[in-house]
Amino acid sequence: MKIIFYLIPLIVILGCAKSLPQKEARSIKPKETPTLKQNNVFNAPFSEVWSATLQGLKWMKWNPAFLEKEDGTIRLKEAYVYTKSGRLFRNYRWPSKEEAKQSDIDDYVDKVVAYDKNIFDFDRPVFSQENMTIEVIKLSKSQTKVNISYKINLYLDSGKFASGVKSSGYIESLLFEQIKERLNGKPLSYDNKIYGQLVLLILQPIF
């Protein structure tokens, strides 16, 4: 009888425990870095935006290789960015071995690309290979859209290109801001809060 007497409270406790609601385990996702959404529609006629785009490219010191105003296409020369005597250069030829050896573009890379930093644990980028194509699109008499396709490859000290590298949006934002300034106005939409913050961080051109 004593054994049964002591077992009754235990059975009651276990029964209550089973009846308690069980919370589902939730996985906690790491915070994601907000994606930069470019504001690329301008309240200005096609001809004005076309001219402002070319002026912005001149400010960036990146020369066009092909211009077709009728369909709004601008293709820039393939460029190579590297440092020489501590100064950043954009050139249109493959750097020499000596130039590549002395080049250090770490600060530039941190600004212009998004990448897995582990790929540089035992290697370092010495210059970049860059291409850009721009489309200026007439939406109406008073509105024009600008699309930018910017691609960058990083050449490493080991003599190969890095994988998994893509634009951070920095270069594109520089050009959009230059277009906006030359139009003395703002893009049509401003739904991106970090766009203005990014531009404020750009104190002067890096070229």
50-86 pLDDT per residue, tens = 999 999 999 999 999 999 999 999 999 999 999 998 8
pLDDT at 117 (0 to 100): 62
Out of 17-21, 38-42, 63-67, 92-96, which region has the weakest mean confidence (pLDDT)?
Answer: 17-21
One-letter amino acid of 138: K
Confidence check: pLDDT of 32 > 90? no
For the chain, what are the domain ranges? Answer: 34-200
Among 144, 150, 152, 100, which Cα is nearest to 126's?
100
Distance between CA 75 and CA 68 in Å, rounded?
9
Q: Which residues contact 36 (CB under 8 A, 6 or more apart)?
A: 168, 169, 173, 192, 194, 195, 198
3-state secondary structure 107-162: HHHHHHEECCHHHHCCCCEEEEEEEEEEEEEECCCCCEEEEEEEEEEEEECCCCEC
Residue with token string 């951070």: 168
Report in angstroms the alpha-carbon separations of 84 from 81, 104, 126, 159, 205: 10, 8, 11, 19, 17
Among 56, 97, 87, which Cα is nearest to 183's?
56
Q: What are phi and psi of 11, to 5 degrees?
A: -65, -40
Q: Determine the average pLDDT of the residues in 151-155.
A: 95
- For helices 170-182 and 46-60, give the axis angle rounded to 10 degrees: 130
pLDDT at 69 (0 to 100): 97
Confidence check: pLDDT of 5 > 50? no
Predicted confidence band of residue 38 (pLDDT cuts 50, 70, 90): low
Confidence check: pLDDT of 205 > 80? no
Distance between CA 166 and CA 170 in Å, rounded?
11
pLDDT at 162 (0 to 100): 87
Distance between CA 86 and CA 45 in Å, rounded?
41
